Structure formats: C-alpha cells, structure tokens
A = this chain, B = another copy of it.
Amino acid sequence: MKHDISISLSQDEAIVLSELFGRFERTDVLSLAHNAEFLALQRVAAQLDKTLLEPFEASYADVVRLARERLAAGFEGRAPGVTGDEA
C-alpha cells in the first residue's frame, strides 16, 4: 500500500499545470483559465484512476478519509481554496 505512484506528463502539460498552480498560490483561488488546464488535469486524473484500480480493503469513503487524515496531519487551520466543511 505504500509504494510511490508515478505520473507522466508532457512538457506542455507540465508548463500549463505549473502556471495553474502558480496562479492558485498567488491568488488563493483555484480556477481554470484555459481549456488546456482542464485537459492537463484530466491527463493526471486518468493516470491516477488507472493506478488506483487495485481493490481497496476498506470502503472507498474510508480509504479517502484515512488518506486525507494521514496527509493533513499536523496542518493547522484551513488551507487556501478549501471550501468544504469536511476539512
């Protein structure tokens, strides 16, 4: 369960995503400014889905909850862009 997952991107996809994340960092607003950003995110999502198709031992909701908790452990307050009430 602890192996690293590798995502492959073209240089164009990397540039486009880097600009998206840079804008998010500057403005604290996560929004898409161009179709290319949607397509680059889709490329990431497709690779994640493919990698994560392995069966989970727990229910999907529990898998997500536990992964979130492990990842955000020790993070104080609400991070930029977080609007849900689950945080």
Q: Would B48 and A18 count as touching, CB distance under 8 A? A: yes
Q: Would B67 and A45 count as touching, CB distance under 8 A? A: no
A57 at the interface (CB under 8 A from B): no
- By DSSP majority rule, is chain A's interface helix, strand, loop, or mixed? helix
Residues of B within 8 A of A9 (CB): 4-7
Task: State which of B12, B18, B48 has its C-beta within 8 Å of the C-beta of A45.
Answer: B18
A59 at the interface (CB under 8 A from B): no
Q: How far is the CA of A62 from the CA of B82 in the complex (A)?
A: 31
Residues of B within 8 A of A5 (CB): 8-11, 13-14
Q: Would B15 and A4 count as touching, CB distance under 8 A? A: no
Task: State which of B12, B14, B35, B79 has its C-beta within 8 Å of the C-beta of A78.
Answer: B35
Q: Would A33 and B78 count as touching, CB distance under 8 A? A: no
